[in-house]
Amino acid sequence: MQYSVGSYNIEINYSKSFTKKHKTVIEDLEILLEKGIPDLTMSEIASKLKISLRTLYEIAPSKDLLITMTVDNILKKLGKKALERVSSISSPLEKLETYLRIVNQAVGPKFETYIQGLRSVKGSSKLVNYHEKFITNYTQKLLEEALEANEIENIDVKAFAILLGGIGRDFAKEKNRIQINKSPEDSANSITKSILKGIRLEN
């Protein structure tokens, strides 16, 4: 994925760009970000990680990019977990419900600190859009498979994919979050379950 944060434009490939040491630092960054780092300088982050400032700059040339990369890594691991979990499920509709329930964790309490850290980063919406697009495309794929398997009624799969792929993000917006009674994650799961139940065909 290519990041554009501030004046930086950089291509990140975890398997080729980073050494084993760099990858370990990125894992440690996840733990640090969970505690919150928006007010820390790069020097303070390096000190807390017990690494040199040079090593930190080898990973990212700015704090904003550092936060963006770390959250991206976290979301990719969540997505990988979801794909692995559904790989053994035969029903496309059941696969979709399980997949969305897992990726909706991105707007749950466990990820709240990560997302708060990301909100302070200019241009971070590109990262969120990137992951939402992946979720939407995979959702569309499973809806098409469910349609072919006669598991759901004849719907506009693209429209439903856009709806289902963006529910969590919509509930996580401050203006919506303060109005709902449950967490964005629980609300997204509840609505998702209702939508899928509504289009399911009784065989």
Domain boundary among 35, 66, 97: 66
Q: How many residues does the chain have?
A: 203
What value does the mean pLDDT of the chain take? 86
183's tokens: 């967490």
Q: Residue 132 belongs to a domain with what CATH number?
A: 1.10.357
Residue 117 belongs to what domain range? Answer: 80-199
pLDDT tens by residue, 75-99: 999 999 999 999 999 999 999 999 9
The pTM is what?
A: 0.83
> What is the spatial distance between Cα 161 and Cα 7, in angstroms, rounded to a whole number?
34
Q: Please tell me whether residues 20 and 109 are part of one structural domain.
A: no
| 74 neighbors 118 (Cβ within 8 angstroms) | no
Structural domains counted in the chain: 2
Does pLDDT of 30 surpass 50?
A: yes
Place of tokens 């059941």: 94
> What is the spatial distance between Cα 87 and Cα 142, in angstroms, rounded to a whole number?
12
Q: Which of 2, 5, 39, 1 is nearest to 125 (CA)?
A: 5
Q: Please tell me whether residues 93 and 190 are part of one structural domain.
A: yes
